[in-house]
């Protein structure tokens, strides 16, 4: 590394400016304190990063921002907060992850997918409902699909239940099959 050029300027109106110039690397580092804010700037050939600290706000402007902690990171705010990415966003945890709100939680996107390697649970509050709504919906299970245990209801303008193999309809109590026209057919029909 070549020789650095270092300057300190003090002015009663402009404040204090410390500058370090590295001509070989084409990098200039500047620290400015003007009485209202502190600004640290590192300017190079391809990028410039700036940290500005005011009494009520700290702003970091840069091409890449990395925060690394050997143990924990805690971020907290007293008012509404926003995290926004102009490109893809990934949140990853090597262990358990919890997303929680004391109010409503909303997830929206062009396509929303949730996948569990061993188990997926969707639970509604005991006094309220769990609603799944779509213009077209498919509920499928590779091995067994179970509805219940207290009460299951299915309704629609047209309801079709079809089995490629055997179908069993059974009730331990009263069973009612009712329609304005009821049709029971098959190559062998056994009633009773």
- The pLDDT tens digits for 85-100 are 999 999 999 999 999 9
- The pLDDT tens digits for 38-55 are 999 999 999 999 999 999
Report angle CA 79, 85, 86 to the nearest 5 degrees: 135
**Does any domain span residue 142?**
no
pLDDT band with cut points at 50, 70 and 90 for residue 121: confident
Which has the closest alpha carbon to 18: 114, 26, 27, 9? 9
**Does any domain span residue 143?**
no
38: left (phi > 0), else alpha (psi -120 to 50), else beta? beta
Whole-number Å distance between alpha carbons of 82 and 174: 56
pLDDT band with cut points at 50, 70 and 90 for residue 1: low
**Does any domain span residue 157?**
no
Range of the domain at 15: 4-61
pTM of the model: 0.70
N-term to C-term CA, the chain: 98
**Does any domain span residue 54?**
yes
Question: For the chain, how many structural domains are there in total?
Answer: 1
């Amino acid at each position: 590394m070549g020789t650095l050029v270092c300057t300190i300027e003090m002015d009663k109106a402009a404040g204090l400016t410390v500058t370090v110039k590295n001509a070989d690397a084409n990098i200039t580092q500047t620290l400015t304190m003007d009485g209202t804010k502190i600004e640290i700037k590192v300017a190079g050939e391809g990028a410039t990063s700036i940290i500005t600290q005011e009494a009520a706000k700290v702003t970091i402007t840069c091409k890449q921002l990395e925060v690394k902690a050997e143990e924990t990171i805690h971020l907290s705010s007293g008012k509404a907060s926003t995290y926004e990415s102009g490109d893809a966003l990934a949140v990853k945890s090597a262990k358990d992850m919890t997303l929680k709100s004391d109010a409503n939680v909303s997830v929206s996107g062009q396509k929303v997918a949730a996948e569990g390697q061993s188990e997926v649970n969707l639970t509604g509050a005991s006094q309220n409902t769990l609603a799944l709504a779509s213009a077209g919906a498919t509920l499928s299970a590779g091995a067994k699909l179970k509805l219940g245990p207290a009460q299951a209801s299915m309704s629609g303008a047209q309801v079709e239940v079809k089995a490629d193999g055997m179908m069993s309809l059974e009730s331990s109590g009263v069973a009612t099959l009712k329609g304005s026209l009821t049709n029971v057919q098959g190559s062998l029909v056994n009633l009773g």
